[in-house]
Structure 1
Amino acid sequence: MTGYFSFTEYSVLKPPVWIGLDNYKSMAGDPFFRPAIRNTVIYTLVTVPIQTVLSLVIANLLASRFRGKLGNFFKSTLFIPVISSMVLVGTVWKFMLATEGGIINNILALVGIGKVNWLGRYNLALISVSIVAIWKNVGYFLVIYYAGLMDVPRSHYEAAKVDGASSLQQFFYITVPALKPITYLVVTLGTIWSFQVFDLVYTMTGGGPGTATITMVMSIYQSGFKQYKMGYASAMAFVLFLIVILISILQKKVFSGKGGE
């Protein structure tokens, strides 16, 4: 139905009227849609690689150095942000990053660093939101990687030790290749989540300052539920769907080409 509505002028108050490609043409001149695409892409390029690498490294450390009760404690602690709602996480971090009275600025003041307007500066707001997203997601992907590490035969590591391989060499030549299917899953999920980001941004910045943190889903929300342009919102949603599908296909080809399957 979204595909059909994207070719119509449609609001909740009147039936849809077919207008062909007009909604798609309107996107070219939309002052909010281009920043929304740019911000979503930047957000994805920041969050996905960092949370993927962090979760893999931490999972490997837990599997190799901190097994047992201590490892379970670390996993449980890192998983707390995952089970917390995105709205709660956004609200807590909004207060922590506040210019006046925020705990982050208070800590920085102790070492002589002045107040930073984390969410009010155009060039810092999106990065700040991205860091919070990474903090929330790492625990989830860590558990996935940890489960994958449990399936890697220990005999591979023992044989590598006999051959004189260092821990770093074992990580890059045994762990990373063995977890390529898991990495494909983690990267794909992370990318989809990043392109769908809404509640964290809405809670922390509302898309501001200006258009600094507006995302594609937020732009769809504003068009559909604030301006009641359901047809135009459907067109943007359909474009988002096609982008996600295209990226998923490209990721599959990249990982398949590297022996990820």
Structure 2
Amino acid sequence: MKDDAAFAVRPRQRRRRPGKRAGQYVGVPFVLPSLVILMVVVIIPIVMSLYFSMTQYSVLGSPTWVGTDNYTKLLNDDAFAAALGNTVVYTLISVPLQTVIALLLADVLARRFRNRFGAVVRSTLFIPVMSSLVVVGVVWRTILGTNDGAVNVFLEAFGLERVNFLGDPTLAIWVVGLVTVWKNIGYFLVIYYAGMMDVPAELYEASGLDGAGRFGQLWHVTIPSLRPVTLLVVILGTIWSFQVFDLVYVMTGGGPGGATTTIVMMIFRAGFQNFQMGYASAMAAVLFALILIIAVVQRKVLKSNED
């Protein structure tokens, strides 16, 4: 009996499979390095900036807690209001122009020049994108100079008066905005061009059979199909415009008479020239909030139009 019991078939034991919770943490080691970098480079500086915005801090001493005094001062600062107005005007000049021009150029290249010529044009227009903003500012400041600038020399050769492009308070903000458009067109052109490659050719063929011309196809086929791309282009352009500093600093220095002073330039002056780090942090917090609100509103508006 004992021998029979020894050779009896034992029930098969089931292997324990790892539960769902165990599988959820498999990717943590892969994400952790990027998360640490994000914490150190982005999240911690933002939190510290919010803290400093409620202190009086000059770098040379310890920060002193002042609560919302910096924000109260900011609401009554006419210079900050003027800088905010300049930034908004600069954004309204650059973002619509670079969006429309990049879309039109991409449509022409995608519909007519899918060849080496189109590739050369795209590469040429992308050169300013790869150039430093400081270099771009120096080059255009030289070209538009009042005394020996190439544009004014050309105008004088035809008997026209010289134009003070960077010294006129009305023209200066427009000039800086147009230079920004010139620099960014190549980047947004490539984005639009890539988006147009995904638009089905059947849509253009069907619209052509319905009698739609080139403009009709652009308006009824291309633009609706590229709404997600346009959302990206507009949001990126707006964020970059609100963060502009180096181009304005090199071309006009914020002048003439503060006509081109932007919010980031105000932050630079307060923090690194006047050593008012608390006040500069308050302006940076307001700028962050403005960019976030504008990006959310733009997304909502463009998404609602898409629906």
TM-score (norm 1): 0.98
Q: Secondary structure at the match of 2:63?
A: strand
Q: Distance in 2 between matches of 1:28 and 1:111?
A: 49
Structure 2 partner of 1:132: 179
* Match of residue 56 from structure 1: 103
1:247 aligns with 2:294: yes
1:184 matched to which residue of 2?
A: 231
The amino acid of 1:27's aligned partner reads: L
RMSD: 0.9
Query: Alignment partner for residue 94 of structure 2, among 21, 27, 47?
Result: 47
Query: Which AA in structure 1 matches 2:212?
Result: A
Aligned position for 1:205: 252
Deviations 1:52-111 (A, max 9, x none): 000000000000111110000100110010000000000000000000110111222233
Q: How far apart, in 1, do the equivalents of 2:240 and 2:131 lie?
A: 16
- Aligned residue in 2 for 1:123: 170
Q: Aligned with 1:75: secondary structure?
A: helix
User: Counterpart of 2:266?
Assistant: 219
- Provide the rounded CA distance (Å) in 1 between the counterparts of 2:75 and 2:286: 12
Aligned length: 260
1:91 paired residue among 132, 138, 144:
138
Distance in 2 (alpha carbons) for counterparts of 1:182 and 1:258: 14
Amino acid at match of 2:238: T
User: Is 1:153 aligned to 2:200, yes or no?
Assistant: yes
Letter in 1 for 2:168: R
- Following the alignment from structure 1 to structure 2, what is the Cα–Cα distance between the partners of residues 116 and 73? 34
For residues 178 and 111 of structure 1, what CA distance do their matches in structure 2 show? 46
Once the two structures are TM-superposed, the CA of residue 164 in structure 1 deviates from its matched residue by: 1.4
User: Partner of 2:13 in structure 1?
Assistant: none
Deviations 1:159-201 (A, max 9, x none): 1111211111000000000000000000000000000000000
Determine helix, strand or coil for the equivalent of 1:14: coil
Structure 1 unmatched runs, 5+ = none
- For residues 51 and 134 of structure 1, the distance between their equivalents in structure 2, rounded to whole angstroms, comes to 5
The runs of 4+ residues in structure 1 deviating greater than 3 Å are none
Letter in 2 for 1:220: I
What is the CA-CA distance between 1:26 and the residue it aligns to?
A: 1.1
SS in 2 for 1:206: coil
Which of 171, 178, 196 is the aligned partner of 2:218?
171
Match of 1:80 among 127, 143, 158: 127
How many percent of aligned residue pairs carry the same amino acid? Answer: 54
- Deviation sequence 1:1-31 (CA, Å, 0-9, x none): 1111111001111111110111011113324
1:36 aligns with 2:83: yes
| Amino acid in structure 2 at the alignment position of 1:224 | G
Quote the Cα distance in structure 2 between the aligned partners of 1:241 and 1:86: 22
CA–CA separation in structure 2 for the residues paired with 1:26 and 1:125: 29
Whichever residue aligns with residue 189 of structure 1, its letter is: L
With 25-34 and 167-176 compared, the bigger mean Cα shift is at 25-34
Greater Rg by CA: 2
Who is 2:38 aligned against? none
| Cα displacement string for residues 25-60 of structure 1 (whole angstroms, at most 9, x for unaligned residues) | 111332421111000000001100010000000000
Q: Distance in 1 between matches of 2:99 and 2:56?
A: 41
Which whole-Å CA distance do the structure 1 matches of 2:160 and 2:289 have between them?
45
Cα distance in structure 2, aligned partners of 1:207 and 1:160 = 49
Structure-1 separation of matches of 2:67 and 2:142: 46
Query: Quick one: which amino acid aligns to residue 98 of structure 1?
Result: G
Q: Which sits farther off after the overlay, 155-164 or 48-57? A: 155-164
**Unmatched runs of 5 consecutive residues or more in structure 2:** 1-47
